[in-house]
Copies of this chain bind each other. A is one copy, B any other.
Amino acid sequence: MTQAVHDAPAGAARRINLGAVAPFLALILICALGAAANARFLSFDNLTNVLARSTFIATIAVGQTLVITGGGLDLSVGAMAAFVAGLEILFLNSGLIENATLLIVSAMALSLAVGALCGLFNGLTTTVGKIEPFIVTLGTMGIFRSLLTWLAQGGSITIRDSEVRAAYRQVYFGDLFGVPYPVLVIVGVAIVGAFILTRTAFGRRVRAVGSNEDVARYSGIGVARVRTLTYVLQGLCVAIAVVIYVPRLSSASAATGLGWELMAITAVVVGGTRLKGGVGRVWGTIAGALILEVIGNIMLLSNVVSEYLIGAVQGAIIIIAMLAQRLARNR
């Protein structure tokens, strides 16, 4: 029996790892498909484009991973992004600060604060108000989007000062040793997110709360506090996404962030996080977000599919990718 004891962890670890790498396997598979469809798919430019683009969903999805792992759900992220972006641009246009760099940095700080507050509102309403997160965040989704529409008076809000605009553009289009900033942001957010979820006491509590609320409660964990915090972190992640998003097109409108919530949740689930809570995989989420973005990219790069049927093919690929993952995991 002692012999057996020594073998076991290795076996278990191997199994867990397969689960964790499955989304990456799916991603690689899809990339191979992409390379076959169009040689330019693997070009440096294209890959960085896709990576940079996926920043928004990936960043938001990292927050969503925490929320879902804790047994919650946040449908308001897309609308929240639009709202935060609107406020940030209004601040940039306010001209309160002369120096462009300082102005931009303050605007970023403001975004983070607003995002955290929006998340706090979601969190408190679900936990203290004891209402299904689905309903709460559907409600705040309407609220945030409406507020933006109202701020923009139905149109769009655009950074007016061209100097500010040019300076801020660097945040999306600039790079460090050839690595675009957005890519650095994804990696940074993922590292922090994974660290929080797997290495800190808070992350452990998030898992406990999502896995079995009663056990968490009986273990003296402040369930409401932990859950609320996941929403605050989600808000911060949304704000980080916004900080990268605004410089790209320098504007926000009622169409900003439309449908991001579904994309983020999809990325989370494709990445192997359990929708009912208790199991979360931050790196899987990143792979999930990349899968979504890469599929879209391949669809555009290939000439095979009619423009009307792109959605159908995308849907089918996602289902097939999940099927492949499951098979890989079960092997």
Interfacial residues, chain A to chain B (CB-CB below 8 A): 75, 125, 129-132, 134-136, 138-143, 145-147, 149-150, 153-154, 262, 265-266, 269-270, 275-276, 306-316, 318-319, 322-323, 326
Contact = CB atoms under 8 A, between A and B. Distances in A.
Contacts of A265: 134
Contact of A269 (B130, B132, B150, B323): B132
Contacts of A270: 135
Nearest to A265: B134
Contact of A143 (B149, B262, B312, B323): B312
B315 A142 contact: yes
Nearest to A142: B315
A9 B132 CA distance: 26
17 contacts: A129-B322, A129-B323, A129-B326, A131-B319, A132-B275, A134-B265, A134-B266, A135-B319, A135-B322, A139-B315, A139-B319, A142-B315, A143-B311, A146-B312, A150-B309, A154-B308, A276-B276
Contacts of A141: 315
* Interface of A (DSSP majority class): helix
Given A134-B269, A138-B266, A143 B326 contact: no
A191 to B, nearest CB: 26
A140 B315 contact: yes
A323 B142 contact: no
A323 B131 CA distance: 7
Of A131, A145, A266, A269, chain B has the most CB atoms within 10 Å of the CB of A131
Given A132-B275, A143-B312, 16 more contacts: A125-B319, A129-B319, A129-B323, A131-B319, A134-B266, A135-B266, A135-B322, A138-B262, A138-B266, A142-B311, A145-B311, A146-B308, A146-B311, A147-B312, A149-B309, A150-B306
A142 B308 contact: no
Contacts of A135: 266, 269-270, 318-319, 322
Contacts of A318: 135, 138-139, 142
A143 B315 contact: yes
Contacts of A132: 269, 275, 322
Contacts of A149: 308-309, 311
B315 A138 contact: yes
